[in-house]
């Protein structure tokens, strides 16, 4: 496990410098503050943060660790401190790699550093702490593997529910079913790995969250190119295109004229050109039609004039699909190949849709539904809430998707702090096998892990210490699956209740937190300074030079 390498900067003049003890002390403090700040959003029944941005013009509500870390103006939060930046990166990486677990990672990193602070206070060298933590993390990963068990279909549902519960307790049941169904389809019934990116999330506010549905195809907020196009077409062949269906200037009839762009054209010229361009457009349409397509879905713009032309020959089209990723999902949903050069389109590129329909909602928003037959990409159509809660809602579904994808055909672990308490118990035993000062660091690692059940208890209104002590007792008696159920506010066998997480996620959380703590422990200097001005000039010159050469 290599620590992340931070880029070196060339510093200007005499940098402001902070030395070892001062840096370490301030790092511990900032880490703990950030971790405490996020801790209140951990688990079900936790609190949300209202983030007010742009001097009050915009606000969002979230309990998602990464969102809070990215959106909250860290400048007001000791942001100049490298630990604040490090933690922000940590949550970003965790979200990118695992899609969930960002709060736990930051909280755990903060706790590891808080424990380290106590050890430094009694004279332990940071290197010894780092070594002890390394032994603890390796052992913890080993124990996790022992505690994990295979995920069945019913377990997958519970994994989804555990992830969604932490953000949307009220509708978690309905959403979890939708999420598992989606993952099943995109993984071909669990035969191959699921990529959560193949699940498109379309949002529409206005109905209750419970009416969220799964659609075997793609839904995009768009309307058909021409308003007279039929609202619904069935059993159609679909061309998915990533090329402009317009006339490029170099294709125009006066393109070769050296004054093309500037000369004032006569009315005749203009008419001639318009006719010529229409001919080019007609040719493009004929190619697509010739290949057998009934529907065109284009990422780029389609010339307005094509609207009428397509209408006449009974074709339907949508254009300006918002992103390349959505276009890819559409292609996967109808099993089409994306066409990047219209003149080379062939029958083999086309996909097939059971139906394509334009639906107008009472609030005038319009969506196009594209229904595939054997889709490799599907849509979760999110309903409910106001706009600013919809995005947190979408993140909850996203957490569920990642959680299930990570558990599919793999192993899972009990949640609700059960794993952390069991790890702490076993690590404490393991610590005794090392008679050096590292023993203290392994014990500290165990203490840091126990912060998780404590926070889960506190956030749902129970006394953290009594919950932890009860849990310790159960685990000492061999009840490895006992954890804290925040829904019932009780200690239980969480496997029976169905509070489950993927092994892969837990591994990433523990490793991520450890690596971040390690960076802080191993640093003994911060240099504040600006990148050397001459160096920037040099770079600029180099770049303009290479541009001239081209």
Ligand X SMILES: Nc1ncnc2c1ncn2[C@@H]1O[C@H](COP(=O)(O)OP(=O)(O)OP(=O)(O)O)[C@@H](O)[C@H]1O
Distance CA 200, CA 181 (A): 13
Rank residues 128 and 494 by Cβ distance to ligand X and give the closer one.
Answer: 494
What's the Cα-to-Cα distance from 12 to each of 15, 524, 525, 526, rounded to whole Å? Answer: 7, 20, 16, 14
Burial class (CB within 10 angstroms; exposed 0-12, middle 13-18, buried 19+) of 19:
exposed
d(CA 334, CA 331): 5
Cβ proximity to ligand X, 408 vs 499, nearer residue: 499
| Angle, vertex CA 404, rays to CA 401 and CA 410, nearest 5 | 150
Nearer to ligand X (CB atom), residue 126 or residue 415: 415
| Contact pattern from residue 497 through residue 536 relative to ligand X, giving x for each residue in contact according to CB under 6 A and a dash for the rest | --x-x-----------------------------------
**Site residues for ligand X, window 443-472 (CB under 6 A)?**
452, 456
Which helix (H) or strand (E) segment holds residue 424: the answer is: helix 418-431
Torsion of CA 361, 367, 373, 376, to 10 degrees: -130
Residue with smaller CB distance to ligand X, 95 or 358:
95
* Nearest by Cα to 91 from 105, 77, 79, 81: 105
Give how far the C-alpha of residue 214 lies from the chain's centroid of Cα atoms, to the nearest Å: 19
Going residue by residue from 386 to 425, which x/- string records binding to Mg ion, judged by CB under 5 A?
Answer: -------------x--------------------------
Q: Does 39 bind ligand X (CB under 6 A)?
A: no
Q: List the single partner that 65 binds among Mg ion, ligand X, none, CB under 5 to 8 Å by kind.
A: ligand X
CB 8 within 8 A of CB 525: no
Under the criterion CB under 5 A, does residue 198 sit at the interface with Mg ion? no
Nearest to ligand X of 115, 501 (CB atom): 501
Residue 61 CA to residue 134 CA, distance in Å, equals 37
Phi, psi of 439 (to 5 degrees): -50, -40
- Out of 100, 198, 399, 485, which one is annotated catalytic? 399
CA atoms of 135 and 362, how far apart (whole Å): 61
CA 391 remoteness from chain centre: 12
Q: Is 144 in the site for ligand X (CB under 6 A)?
A: no
246 binds ligand X (CB under 6 A): no
User: Which residue in the set 35, 102, 114, 246 belongs to the binding site for ligand X (CB under 6 A)?
Assistant: 102
Q: Which residues partner with 382 through β-bridges?
A: 203
Quote the distance between the C-alpha of residue 539 and its chain's center. 34
Distance CA 231, CA 546 (A): 53
**Number of residues this chain uses to bind ligand X (CB under 6 A):** 27
Looking at the DSSP assignment, which residues form a beta bridge with residue 527? 17
DSSP strand pairing (232-241 vs 295-298): parallel
**Active-site position among 93, 102, 166, 212:** 102
Q: Does residue 111 belong to the site contacting ligand X (CB under 6 A)?
A: no
CB of 415 to ligand X, least distance (A): 3
CA distance 339 to 300: 12
How far apart are the C-alpha atoms of 353 and 374, rounded to whole Å?
Answer: 9
- Which of 111, 115, 131, 165 binds ligand X (CB under 6 A)? It is 165
Of the pair 358, 474, the CB lying nearest ligand X is at: 474
The verdict on whether 103 is a catalytic residue reads yes
487 is in the binding site of which of Mg ion, ligand X, none (Cβ under 5 to 8 A by kind)? ligand X
Q: Which of 64, 100, 165, 349 is catalytic?
A: 64
Q: Report if residue 100 touches Mg ion, rule: CB under 5 A.
A: yes
Closer Cβ to ligand X, 426 or 506, answer by number: 506
64 counts as binding Mg ion under rule CB under 5 A: no
Residue 474 contact, options Mg ion, ligand X, none, Cβ 5-8 Å cut-off depending on partner type: none
Residue 485 interacts, among ligand X, Mg ion, none and using kind-specific CB cut-offs from 5 to 8 Å, with ligand X
Site stretch for ligand X (CB under 6 A), options 22-30, 61-69, 182-190, 327-335: 61-69
Find the part of the chain contacting ligand X (CB under 6 A) among 41-49, 112-120, 230-238, 429-437: 41-49
Cβ at position 363, least distance to Mg ion in Å: 32
501 interface partner picked from ligand X, Mg ion, none, CB below 5 to 8 A per type: ligand X
Choosing from 103, 105, 162, 379, the catalytic residue is 103
Contacts of 210 (CB under 8 A, 6+ apart): 171, 174, 384
Rounded to 10 degrees, the C-alpha dihedral 301/307/313/316 comes to: 60
**Which positions from 419 through 448 interact with ligand X, judged by CB under 6 A?**
none
Q: Tell me if 165 contacts Mg ion by CB under 5 A.
A: no
Of these, 181, 349, 399, 507, which contacts ligand X (CB under 6 A)?
A: 399
Residue 450 binds Mg ion, judged by CB under 5 A = no
User: Does 64 participate in catalysis according to the annotation?
Assistant: yes
Burial class of residue 282 in the structure, from the number of CB atoms within 10 Å of its CB (0-12 exposed, 13-18 middle, 19+ buried): middle
Query: Measured between alpha carbons, how far is 319 from 326 in angstroms, rounded to an integer?
Result: 12
Measure the CA–CA gap between 416 and 460, rounded to whole angstroms: 12
> What is the contact surface with ligand X in residues (CB under 6 A)?
41-44, 46, 64-66, 100-104, 162, 165-166, 399, 415-416, 452, 456, 484-487, 499, 501
Tell me the catalytic residues.
64, 102-103, 399
> What is the contact surface with Mg ion in residues (CB under 5 A)?
100, 166, 399
């Amino acid at each position: 496990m290599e620590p992340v390498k931070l880029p070196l900067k060339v510093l200007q003049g005499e940098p402001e410098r902070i030395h070892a003890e001062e840096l370490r002390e301030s790092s511990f403090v900032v880490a703990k503050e950030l971790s405490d700040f996020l801790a209140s959003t951990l688990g079900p029944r936790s609190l949300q943060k209202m983030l007010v941005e742009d001097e009050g013009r915009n606000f969002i509500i979230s309990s998602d660790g990464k969102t809070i870390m990215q959106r909250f103006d860290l400048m007001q939060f000791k942001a100049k401190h490298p630990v604040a930046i490090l933690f922000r990166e940590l949550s970003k990486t965790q979200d990118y790699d695992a899609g969930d677990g960002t709060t736990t990672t930051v909280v755990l990193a903060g706790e590891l550093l808080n424990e380290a602070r106590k050890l430094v206070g009694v004279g332990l060298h940071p290197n010894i702490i780092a070594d002890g933590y390394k032994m603890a993390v390796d052992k913890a990963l080993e124990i996790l593997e022992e505690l994990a068990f295979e995920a069945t279909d019913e377990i997958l549902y519970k994994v989804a529910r555990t992830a969604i519960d932490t953000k949307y307790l009220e509708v978690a049941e309905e959403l979890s079913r939708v999420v598992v169904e989606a993952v099943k389809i995109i993984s071909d019934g669990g035969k191959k790995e699921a990529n959560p990116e193949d699940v498109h999330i379309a949002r529409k506010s206005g109905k209750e969250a419970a009416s969220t549905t799964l659609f075997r195809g793609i839904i995009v907020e768009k309307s058909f190119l021409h308003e007279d196009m039929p609202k619904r077409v069935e059993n159609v062949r679909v061309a998915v295109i990533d090329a402009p269906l317009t006339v490029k200037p170099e294709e125009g009839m006066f393109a070769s004229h050296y004054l093309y762009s500037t000369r004032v054209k006569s009315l005749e010229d203009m008419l001639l050109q318009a006719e010529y361009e229409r001919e080019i457009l007609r040719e493009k349409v004929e190619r697509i039609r010739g290949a057998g397509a009934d529907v065109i879905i284009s990422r780029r713009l389609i010339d307005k004039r094509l609207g009428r032309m397509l209408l006449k020959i009974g074709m339907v089209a949508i254009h300006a699909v918002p992103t390349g990723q959505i276009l890819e999902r559409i292609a996967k949903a109808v099993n089409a190949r994306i066409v990047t050069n219209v003149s080379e389109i062939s029958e083999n590129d086309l996909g097939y849709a059971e139906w394509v329909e334009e639906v107008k909602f009472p609030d005038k928003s319009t969506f196009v539904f594209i229904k595939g037959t054997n889709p490799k990409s599907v849509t979760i159509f999110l309903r409910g809430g106001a706009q600013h809660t919809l995005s947190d809602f979408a993140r909850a579904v996203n957490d569920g998707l990642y959680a299930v994808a990570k558990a599919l055909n793999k192993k899972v672990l009990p949640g609700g702090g059960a794993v952390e308490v069991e790890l702490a118990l076993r690590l404490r035993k393991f610590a005794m096998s090392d008679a050096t000062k590292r023993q203290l660091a392994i014990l500290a690692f165990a203490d840091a892990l126990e912060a998780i059940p404590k926070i889960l208890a506190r956030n749902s209104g129970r006394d953290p210490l009594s919950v932890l002590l009860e849990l310790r007792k159960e685990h000492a008696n061999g009840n490895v699956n006992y954890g804290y159920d925040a829904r019932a506010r009780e200690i239980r066998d969480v496997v029976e209740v169905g509070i489950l997480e993927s092994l892969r996620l837990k591994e990433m959380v523990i490793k991520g937190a450890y690596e971040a703590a390690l960076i802080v422990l191993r640093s003994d200097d911060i240099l504040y300074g600006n990148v050397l001005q001459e160096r920037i000039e040099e770079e600029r010159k180099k770049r303009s030079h290479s541009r001239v050469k081209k």
